Amino acid sequence: MVSYDIDNISPDMSFLEMMDVLNEELTSQGLDPVAFDHDCREGICGSCSMFINGEAHGPDRLVTTCQLHMRKFQDGDTIFIEPFRSNTFPVIKDLVVDRSSFDRIQHAGGFISINTSGNTQDANSIPIDKNKADKAFDAATCIGCGACVATCKNSSAMLFVSAKVSQFSLLPQGQVEANERVLNMVKQMDDEGFGNCTNTGACEVECPKGISLENIARMNRDYLKAKFSS
């Protein structure tokens, strides 16, 4: 751990803007800036991944680190900033971690195979129950930031994987490859070395997009059905 003192931080600054101020100071002193991931800075890309004062994305709820503001802290506070820690998220530098394990899980089945020859049926021509469509959409809001893994005491990726499975399995378009998808994605998740889900619910609380534990139950159900029917 390295300690830095920093002044002139406005309560209206975002957390990443505070990090920018810190890095400007460090570079002006000829020191290495603190490396951290960021891109959109509006809670969409899922790049920013900091464990702030013992919580993924900090003390606020339903926000990413870039949406966290300094007004959540008091003047004179010591803020502990750590990278997301998990064996499956190796630290590249400072606060930057490698989350390509998530990409490999996605590659294992997080997609729908569609013939793009021009004869594909319009998706809107298939009637879908509104409730299911809403749930699929909610699951699809997962930005893959990894807060679920970072906050879980077991480093479990069940919330992420279940969201990626559910966003397809709830829709008719995703049914064709449903069994194959859930089996392959869970296998890849296990192969990556993530821990087991013990249903503490911490992931749901810390998830910036509010992905529900209901998705984990659904994936368990889909997986058991696929496993015992194959």
**Chain positions contacting another protein, by CB under 8 A:** 1, 51, 53-55, 59, 80, 82, 85-88, 151, 153-156, 186-187, 189-190, 193-202, 205-206, 212-214, 216-224, 227
Considering the complex, what minimum distance in angstroms separates the CB of residue 54 from another protein?
A: 3
Q: Distance between alpha carbon 185 and the CA centroid of its chain, in Å?
A: 16
Whose Cβ is closer to another protein: residue 123's or residue 202's?
202
Whose Cβ is closer to another protein: residue 175's or residue 196's?
196
Whose Cβ is closer to another protein: residue 67's or residue 212's?
212
**228 CB-near residues (< 8 Å, 6+ apart):** none
The type of residue at 170 is L
Whose Cβ is closer to another protein: residue 130's or residue 153's?
153
| Termini Cα distance of the chain | 50
Considering the complex, what minimum distance in angstroms separates the CB of residue 200 from another protein?
A: 4
Whose Cβ is closer to another protein: residue 171's or residue 202's?
202
Whose Cβ is closer to another protein: residue 70's or residue 197's?
197
Is 153 within 8 Å of 78 (Cβ atoms)?
A: no
Considering the complex, what minimum distance in angstroms separates the CB of residue 118 from another protein?
A: 39
* Long-range contacts, stretch 136-142, CB < 8 angstroms, 24+ apart: 136/166, 136/167, 136/168, 136/170, 136/171, 137/167, 138/210, 138/211, 138/212, 139/163, 139/164, 139/166, 139/167, 139/170, 139/211, 139/215, 140/167, 141/209, 141/210, 141/211, 142/167, 142/207, 142/209, 142/211
Please state, in angstroms and rounded to a whole number, the distance separating the CA atoms of residues 46 and 147: 9
Considering the complex, what minimum distance in angstroms separates the CB of residue 110 from another protein?
A: 17
Considering the complex, what minimum distance in angstroms separates the CB of residue 156 from another protein?
A: 8
Considering the complex, what minimum distance in angstroms separates the CB of residue 19 from another protein?
A: 18
